[in-house]
Structure 1
């Protein structure tokens, strides 16, 4: 049986058994776990467990977590406060920085992240003592470490100090009782996991197993971690490995990134992959991103909710001739009349399947163009000036976009240029809020775009944000379940 077919079977089983109730999970019910006595013995057991980890990985990025809402909707690229937006309170509050600790999306994201962590901890802690071949030990342990590193990297950027759990736990209370681990210690574990994984992962897989973490994924993610920590020489070293390996390259046509059948393309360093036509394996992006009222027009069937729409701010940020602007649709035609409601073509128009949550639209976790731009950013920071390689990287991305080469910039003007290019290249792929946090521009950028009243600006905030709002609140049920204030709430909430 191929990896993809096994994945299909396991995702259906695991989603049905483990994701039915966010609240139920967080109220101390056992984490999905199979007894060590009758599992974790054979190569097939561990292969199945790794597939289960990838199913949890997919739930972090869609399902009821809506990763995109916490990272894109939070910033200035997307909103639901324009024509065609649903107006759902939990999402609107994230958009407007009004969320409270019991926000359902924060709870779901936390839940699904720790389900993923629990599953990979089970694998990592047991695989060394198993009798399977060393080749599989290294492979499965390394994939699991990349998944764990990514989960903690997301958590620590969104919430700050979080429980650092690296061994099996029998229920969710096990993570709460250890309390919150300082950010610096979480980053130490992230770097350790990625460094160890990079020593054993292959550069690529065959067509039957694309979508798994590779050497390039581990190195790329490690480079972003170092860039976030402002360790620029280390970031340069990791990004250079990815670029010099020539495993990945830019697709010649930007729009091709979002066409059907692009799983495992040359630019995709790591994707969360979905499959249309099989119940439970499709993504929900088209339904969630298509404007309300566009059912049967922008998407073939199922609801359209407008949860994540491009803002006027990002639409107006493109210069004339930039082909990437075409990824933003300005509206659709209904009953012969044009309806002005922006949406993201890359998710709505491609491979939409036959109904709700049945799309083949994937999510790029890591894309080569973004690595080129962050490499250019790191080089400029490390040298305090842009050199030939920094220019080469940013201009490769600009040339595909139909724009001219940059030259003659200094450290400050190049930094501004690369920040802008990062925004324009992948505005709807879960990077913008993290980019603003990494570059210490969260308050500056968002507070420069405050509207005159709730809903009057497509950016989505009606008053300046405060420093504490750079982190989300810890989900309320996590705090209350920990008991005796073992886990304290973030300041300001």
Structure 2
């Protein structure tokens, strides 16, 4: 596909990113006589930046489809009576031809743009219009985004064409005579090899011209994190030690604010409470989904998030999906998800979980509403928008707890179940504070090689502040009780894995992870009932008469994948 991007200045280039699909469509659909050919477009660093941000702008248009495919197909989300046939088909795994949510074309449209940009960046580099550093950073970024897109396609469709060239008609990818399809397992290995070979795996440096602020939005939050993606691919491929290394490499790097900010340097990925002490409150957890993107607590919580703004296209898709005031209220939290939050206990014994009612979801006008994506649109107390036309919002893609829970999953399978238990529960200091050790300098420390070398010591004589001395653990941060200590034993790794996946549901609900989480574990165990039973129980609790039929269908993993048409 020939990317038709005009040579524009940097400010306008970043506006392309915020303007999303509609702006990109105008750029891609200009009549030929008005098109600036690639040879006249890719002339300098600003053109390269415009191309990169244009791809991310088009990528932003996938948010609604990504959400539906990864959450409604699983067990935490259900349809409302307002849902049309397409959503009902997704919910009951009975997708018919023409279902808009099951169309792979939008993903391939972005992929073909990636291919074109990568090709032209290479031409710029070869003709000395880009330095080695500028080229490596941008080419690697777009290459990693393409890998993320292919991984998502593989998770949803199973066998897909893997295309690295550019051409004009996106439907060409469906021609199997030209582009044979590759199975998910082989696709993951292909993506791992590509990611391992990238010349640049770190986030863009602060001095890069793509790192800027537009209308208070820091662009540094918009780009895919390559090591998180590589860790996810390793985890899917059952390369647990490599996955743990990739995740730890993120945990041990600085925040977007940079290493000069001592508050943020290690606290970004150690699940601190969002303040300078170890306190934790419900209101603090809720604000991770509403506070300013410039806020340091936001930048310690979110690794990858993007913006919907009322001034730019595309329109925020989450309002119509979730809101019952100002939106169409098409999907809602499942009763399974609600019951799971209700089953948790605070440390004082109260049956409650900060992450459930009034945070992740809220009762609005007597109906359960998924709130995570609505806090920039509605009033947090009432669930009602003050200005229904100001449809601002964010697409939350990868968060600090996602990183910690994935690390815990990898560590648990890599023979480090106690570390997994620690990160899920009360943190390293809680699990490794062995008072039977007489030397206090040897407590709260794992004494293991990388990537399992955690130091949570906090001493004044001698003065020691381990990197993870603020690490609370996922459950302790929201003040729910620890899981049973017997789960620290390596022999209980399967039960610990069950609890990690359940913690994923409690902490990460509706953030686009659930379908792949269930698939990954079910395939790893060669146990389709792990996935099928969870979907069945959701449908059963919500009174869907198709529950038993869906379970029988999902007991065959071949039926986990959407038709590629």
Structure 2 residue 403 is the aligned partner of structure 1 residue 371:
yes
Instruction: Look up the match of 1:171.
Output: 169
Alpha-carbon distance between aligned partners in 2 of 1:4 and 1:357, rounded to the nearest angstrom: 26
Bigger relative contact order, structure 1 or 2, given CA contacts below 8 A and separation 6+?
1
Task: State which of 269, 290, 294 in structure 1 corresponds to 2:323.
Answer: 290
Using the TM superposition, give the Cα deviation of residue 200 of structure 1 relative to its aligned residue in structure 2, in angstroms.
Answer: 4.5
Instruction: Look up the match of 1:191.
Output: 192
Task: State which of 306, 309, 330 in structure 2 corresponds to 1:272.
Answer: 306
Instruction: Look up the match of 1:147.
Output: 145
Task: State which of 396, 414, 431 in structure 1 corresponds to 2:513.
Answer: 431
Task: Give the 3 Å change call, closer, same or farther, for CA 195–389 of structure 1 in structure 2.
Answer: same
Task: State which of 242, 250, 254 in structure 1 corresponds to 2:285.
Answer: 254
Alpha-carbon distance between aligned partners in 2 of 1:112 and 1:100, rounded to the nearest angstrom: 18
Alpha-carbon distance between aligned partners in 2 of 1:358 and 1:442, rounded to the nearest angstrom: 44
Task: State which of 81, 87, 94 in structure 2 corresponds to 1:91.
Answer: 87
Alpha-carbon distance between aligned partners in 2 of 1:461 and 1:7, rounded to the nearest angstrom: 46
Q: Does the CA contact (< 8 Å) of 1:61 and 1:68 recur in 2?
A: yes
Alpha-carbon distance between aligned partners in 1 of 2:155 and 2:543, rounded to the nearest angstrom: 26
Task: Give the 3 Å change call, closer, same or farther, for CA 442–342 of structure 1 in structure 2.
Answer: farther
Q: Does the CA contact (< 8 Å) of 1:239 and 1:375 recur in 2?
A: yes
Instruction: Look up the match of 1:124.
Output: 118
Using the TM superposition, give the Cα deviation of residue 102 of structure 1 relative to its aligned residue in structure 2, in angstroms.
Answer: 2.1
Instruction: Look up the match of 2:100.
Output: 104
Using the TM superposition, give the Cα deviation of residue 321 of structure 1 relative to its aligned residue in structure 2, in angstroms.
Answer: 3.1
Task: Give the 3 Å change call, closer, same or farther, for CA 167–387 of structure 1 in structure 2.
Answer: same
Using the TM superposition, give the Cα deviation of residue 72 of structure 1 relative to its aligned residue in structure 2, in angstroms.
Answer: 0.5
Instruction: Look up the match of 2:49.
Output: 47
Q: Does the CA contact (< 8 Å) of 2:55 and 2:113 recur in 1?
A: yes
Task: Give the 3 Å change call, closer, same or farther, for CA 16–2 of structure 1 in structure 2.
Answer: closer
Secondary structure of the residue aligned to 1:321 is: coil
Deviations 1:127-173 (A, max 9, x none): 22312222221121011011101100000111112111112223225
TM-score normalised over the length of structure 1: 0.80
Secondary structure of the residue aligned to 1:428 is: coil
Secondary structure of the residue aligned to 1:362 is: strand
Q: Does the CA contact (< 8 Å) of 1:95 and 1:461 recur in 2?
A: no
Structure 2 residue 256 is the aligned partner of structure 1 residue 212:
no
Deviations 1:248-272 (A, max 9, x none): 3335332111114246621111112
Using the TM superposition, give the Cα deviation of residue 393 of structure 1 relative to its aligned residue in structure 2, in angstroms.
Answer: 5.0
TM-score normalised over the length of structure 2: 0.70
Task: Give the 3 Å change call, closer, same or farther, for CA 354–135 of structure 1 in structure 2.
Answer: farther
Secondary structure of the residue aligned to 1:364 is: strand
Using the TM superposition, give the Cα deviation of residue 438 of structure 1 relative to its aligned residue in structure 2, in angstroms.
Answer: 0.5
Structure 2 residue 434 is the aligned partner of structure 1 residue 402:
no
Instruction: Look up the match of 1:478.
Output: none
Instruction: Look up the match of 2:25.
Output: 18
Structure 2: which 5+ runs fail to align?
Answer: 1-7, 214-218, 256-267, 275-283, 345-350, 379-384, 427-472
Secondary structure of the residue aligned to 1:372 is: helix
Using the TM superposition, give the Cα deviation of residue 330 of structure 1 relative to its aligned residue in structure 2, in angstroms.
Answer: 4.7
Task: State which of 533, 536, 541 in structure 2 corresponds to 1:450.
Answer: 536
Structure 1: which 5+ runs fail to align?
Answer: 296-300, 334-338, 476-493
Alpha-carbon distance between aligned partners in 2 of 1:242 and 1:103, rounded to the nearest angstrom: 38
Deviations 1:171-219 (A, max 9, x none): 22543321312334422332234334473533664552323326xx111
Using the TM superposition, give the Cα deviation of residue 244 of structure 1 relative to its aligned residue in structure 2, in angstroms.
Answer: 2.3
Instruction: Look up the match of 1:38.
Output: 40
Instruction: Look up the match of 1:490.
Output: none
Secondary structure of the residue aligned to 2:563 is: coil
Alpha-carbon distance between aligned partners in 2 of 1:311 and 1:289, rounded to the nearest angstrom: 13
Alpha-carbon distance between aligned partners in 2 of 1:354 and 1:34, rounded to the nearest angstrom: 43
Q: Does the CA contact (< 8 Å) of 1:79 and 1:458 recur in 2?
A: no
Q: Aligned residues, how many?
A: 440
Deviations 1:270-303 (A, max 9, x none): 112222x304154221232013xxx3xxxxx4xx
Alpha-carbon distance between aligned partners in 2 of 1:404 and 1:244, rounded to the nearest angstrom: 27
Using the TM superposition, give the Cα deviation of residue 359 of structure 1 relative to its aligned residue in structure 2, in angstroms.
Answer: 2.9
Q: Does the CA contact (< 8 Å) of 1:433 and 1:442 recur in 2?
A: no
Q: Does the CA contact (< 8 Å) of 1:284 and 1:358 recur in 2?
A: no
Using the TM superposition, give the Cα deviation of residue 460 of structure 1 relative to its aligned residue in structure 2, in angstroms.
Answer: 7.5
Give the superposed CA RMSD.
Answer: 3.2
Task: State which of 232, 244, 257 in structure 2 corresponds to 1:236.
Answer: 244
Task: State which of 471, 479, 482 in structure 1 corresponds to 2:561.
Answer: 471
Secondary structure of the residue aligned to 1:37 is: helix
